[in-house]
Amino acid sequence: MSRILRKTIVIFILFAGMTGAQNYEVLRTFTEVLNQVTENYVDEKKSEELVYHAIQGILKSLDPHSIFLSPGQYRKYKSMKSGELVGFGLEVQRFQGKVYIQGIVDGTPAKKAGLKIGDVILQIDTLTISDTTSTTELELAFLGEEGTSSTLKIFRPSAGKEVTIKITRDEYERSNISMAVMLSRGTFYMKIDEFGANLAGEVRNYIDRINPDITKKIVIDLRGNPGGGMDQCFKTAEIFLSEDDTVYISKGRKKQLDQVGVSKTKRITELPLIVLIDRNSASASEMLSGALQDNDRAILVGTNTFGKGLIQVPFDLRGGAGLVMTVGRYQTPSGRIIQKEYDNISRDEYYDLMNSVDSSNFRNGKTYRTNLGRRIYGGGAGELEKVGGIFPDVFVDYGEDIFTTLDEDSLKIFDVNFLNYFFEQSPDLKGSVKSFRAYYTDYQLEEKVFYKIIDIWREKDNLISPPEYSLMLANHLKSEIARQVWGEYEAMMIGMLYDKQLNYALNMTPEDINKILGSR
């Protein structure tokens, strides 16, 4: 058997559903093209590289999350799923085909290596970042065994140039819950950042410690949460749902994928629930919020969510390679399909789809019913047909009184770039104020400082149409600065001055919640 023909075995597997004659003709054409390229193309190309590119082309025609992994990548993927790998300590945000560093965890390799908020990641080792780079490819590039190193090529807007940084992976502590605290009006607030290992255990520990004499309601903040393990989503849902409540429905081409996930335990709290969601709440975040809403256990406040609800399964291939492929879709208990449209659009359009329509008109979407008959909404009809995702009971956007020119993702990218330039100009902010209390009461981002940074940004990186200065914008940036200098709690204390979604939830009484849950 020829070397090239051996490389086509994986391609044959992908066409296995066709008839024998069809297989033969397709594979013969493919092999002929491969032979011509390897023999006659102006530059020498390895057959293995060409076949791998061909496979990636097939999968990219399916959906944004199905992916072929080389033997080395697949070994790393399986280690990642078993929790054996460590990373850099980065939080990233995708926007218009670029990957921005949105946050850096203290004490992590990323912090020690000198990476900065606002840096744009261009390349990780041999992986060049583009709008077609999948989330799985990014995760695999970030993760590795403790002590291993990677070379990152970044663009640093504040310096106006590309920078190459070597970073060594190491273990670091990070909870799935960045904040759990009592706020005003008897509100226990819990910010869940991701659905990592043991999230359900962390949630249960916090709920067990709630003082029932002073707590009137629980607010779970899933804004910006990209998801994670569906097992942790299911176990977390069980904490709040009743025994025999449906958590999810799965459907696929194969009948064994048609399943209904049902809670097997009793809820551990009867306190009213509010869940905060936004356009960057994805995957497991959408499943949890959808399950709580469909079972009339919580009301959702915020905006529509991202729209990712695919079931992906790894398949072992010959030679050690792997195929992580979509085999089904998740639905909420009421039958809402979470996954948004992905056919005939670019990857950029896919990742920005939730921002492309006026989702405040969510009642123009498709109507569903909760267990008690309450109307809830999802994509699948009218102008919201392609959007997917979970829609809130109460739509509360960030508000036009804060930003008139930026959608949610654009705001995040504005934040990370502004902070990059801000800290270039004020590297020792923490040392220049006596305490956080002094920062909270006395510090104000003045208009002249704001426009000075905007001017520097415009000179370095061709900034177009920045938002105008306002007190609300200044408070927002003050909160984001506090997040980087002090932490989540301090950021929230300032953020409560303008966070319309959180303030709406804080002002709701248990009676308000029950009134919505009881509506038809």
Active-site residue numbers? Answer: 283, 294, 308
Longest Cα–Cα distance of the chain, Å, equals 79
Q: Measured between alpha carbons, how far is 111 from 125 in angstroms, rounded to an integer?
A: 19
Check residue 72 and report its DSSP letter: H
**DSSP of 200-224, one letter per residue?**
HHHHHHHHHT--TTT--EEEEE-TT
Q: Cα separations (Å) of 420 from 353, 397, 449, 458?
A: 27, 26, 14, 13
For residue 312, the cross-strand partners are 326
Say if CB 200 and CB 232 are below 8 A apart: yes
User: In 86-240, which ranges are continuous DSSP H helix?
Assistant: 109-113, 135-142, 199-208, 230-240
Residue whose C-alpha is closest to residue 212's, from 513, 510, 468, 493: 510
Residue whose C-alpha is closest to residue 336's, from 305, 301, 299, 302: 305
Place of tokens 């807007």: 157
User: What pairing do the DSSP bridges indicate for beta strands 217-221 and 187-192?
Assistant: parallel
Crossing angle of the two packed helices 471-485 and 447-461, in degrees rounded to 10: 70
Q: Measured between alpha carbons, how far is 216 from 195 in angstroms, rounded to an integer?
A: 26
Amino acid found at 125? D
Q: Count of H helices and E strands in the chain? A: 19, 19
Q: Measured between alpha carbons, how far is 250 from 311 in angstroms, rounded to an integer?
A: 8
Provide CB contacts within 8 A for 183, sequence distance 6+: 189, 219, 506
Crossing angle of the two packed helices 135-142 and 71-81, in degrees rounded to 10: 80
